[in-house]
Chain A
Amino acid sequence: GQSLEQPSEVTAVEGAIVQINCTYQTSGFYGLSWYQQHDGGAPTFLSYNALDGLEETGRFSSFLSRSDSYGYLLLQELQMKDSASYFCAYNTDKLIFGTGTRLQVFP
């Protein structure tokens, strides 16, 4: 079957580092995407991993291990504005989204 698992909620303080894990199960897989969604807003694309390894985009990094069917999003130097929901999504010929991780950043 097809499935994605990610934690429902994560909390952290400003300036900290947080890692949001995502495990997946699928018969077809091209890559893993990450999206951010603020309350009341639309999802916005953050990063994509088609190959194993780490992709870095500013304070955000994303990692993929195809052999472990596992990825994570790493957020560094957390800011209050990073409080949002984060979705992993695997790419077959369409995007299949996880149920999201709500990140709350406290001062």
Chain B
Amino acid sequence: IAGITQAPTSQILAAGRRMTLRCTQDMRHNAMYWYRQDLGLGLRLIHYSNTAGTTGKGEVPDGYSVSRANTDDFPLTLASAVPSQTSVYFCASSDTPSPHEQFFGPGTRLTVL
């Protein structure tokens, strides 16, 4: 593994289903983030974690949950997917809780029907 990996690369999901997007980093960064990117809206922060064992809400947290059991993994869960959650999801990490330089994963393209 080099950097940040995300899985799956893409997914089509029926509304109402539960889905977990996976994110793993091997850079030993303390902070990790989940963003969604929609056309014309840029990147919006969903949840973040400044260190293992802690999480916080971003700009658009509703309908999503996260956990940070260890330094490397930061999964994002959609408990009951809705079509408005169709988006491209990016996981990112940074070396410190001051997040000006973030390293992004390749993204997961999620379609909720």
Interface residues of A (CB under 8 A from B): 30-31, 33, 41-45, 48, 50, 87, 89, 91, 93-100
Contact = CB atoms under 8 A, between A and B. Distances in A.
A58 B46 CA distance: 33
Contacts, number: 54
B42 A98 contact: yes
Contact of B102 (A45, A96, A100): A45
Q: Chain B interface mostly helix, strand, loop or mixed? A: loop
Nearest to B92: A43
Interface residues of B, number: 24
A99 B101 contact: no
Interface of B: 33, 35, 40-45, 48, 58-59, 90, 92, 97-107
Contact of A45 (B35, B41, B101): B101
A94 B99 contact: yes
A99 B45 CA distance: 13
Given A33-B100, A43-B90, A44-B104, A87 B43 contact: yes
A97 B42 contact: yes
A97 B90 CA distance: 13
Nearest to A45: B101
Given A42-B90, A42-B107, A43-B90, A95 B102 contact: yes
A41 B107 CA distance: 8
B101 A94 contact: no
A99 B42 contact: yes
A42 to B, nearest CB: 4
Given A91-B100, A93-B97, A42 B45 contact: no
